[in-house]
Structure 1
Amino acid sequence: MSTDLVIVALVQAKPGQEKALVQAQSELVQVVRKQRGCISYELHEAIDQPGKVVFFERWLDRTSWERHMRGAHMDAFRASASPLIGAVELLQLSQVA
């Protein structure tokens, strides 16, 4: 099995903040995909629920993901996007089959 780290982040925008949050997240994607250790970083929005988004992330290892989470780009994103976010669920996964 793979030793990389898979992250699934489920995010719900606050009412009325759907477009602003998706825009901020889309900008974040462009930065993160260039980071060392990022294998893939995808943002998807629910077709029938605007503002409900899912990040699918694959990282070379936990160290790469932790470096990403501590980065200045994430500090800036959290500062600007936190008021737009209603709920977050974060799953850290390893492939088993």
Structure 2
Amino acid sequence: MTESSTSIAALWVAQAKEGREAEVRELIARVVTPARHDEGNIDYEVHEDEARPGTFVVYERWVSREALRRHTESPWISELIPPLLELTTGNIEDELRFLRPIRPTR
């Protein structure tokens, strides 16, 4: 299987600035449905850490790295990023992990 045909997952953790938790929750929740409709999406889930309110975890799976790239370049994602950066601490790159599936050899 080539890299372009291998599914990929991304995991992102975002920490809301103090007092901005509800705004982040609302903003992130709005992306779930459109992301699930992007071509090549397998799964798109947003969670809030029960032990650390205001900490949000986004887990997404795509049929290929190319599908993920197209998703990140979509106009609605470009519109989401600036307000999200205003509401959260840190930066996206530091909290983003790309995950490759491990399959049994047999």
More strand by share: 1
Gaps of at least 5 residues in structure 2 are none
State the shift of 1:44 in Å. Answer: 0.6
Would you say how many aligned residue pairs link Structure 1 and Structure 2? 97
State the shift of 1:30 in Å. Answer: 1.4
TM-score (norm 1): 0.92
Gaps of at least 5 residues in structure 1 are none
Greater relative CO, 1 or 2 (CA 8 Å, sep 6+) = 1
Tell me the amino acid that sits aligned with residue 58 of structure 1.
R
C-alpha distance in structure 1 between counterparts of 2:39 and 2:8, whole Å: 14
Identify the residue that residue 93 of structure 1 maps to in structure 2: 99
Runs of 4+ in 1 over 4 A off after TM superposition: none
Tell me the amino acid that sits aligned with residue 29 of structure 2.
S
- Pairing of 1:7-86 with structure 2 (within 5 A): 7-86=10-89
Q: Which protein is bigger by CA-based radius of gyration?
A: 2
C-alpha distance in structure 2 between counterparts of 1:8 and 1:82, whole Å: 17
Root-mean-square deviation (CA, aligned residues, Å) is 1.5
Note the alpha carbon deviations across 1:23-67, whole angstroms, 9 max, x for none: 100001111111100100000101121110111110000000011
TM-score (norm 2): 0.85
Q: Percent identity?
A: 30
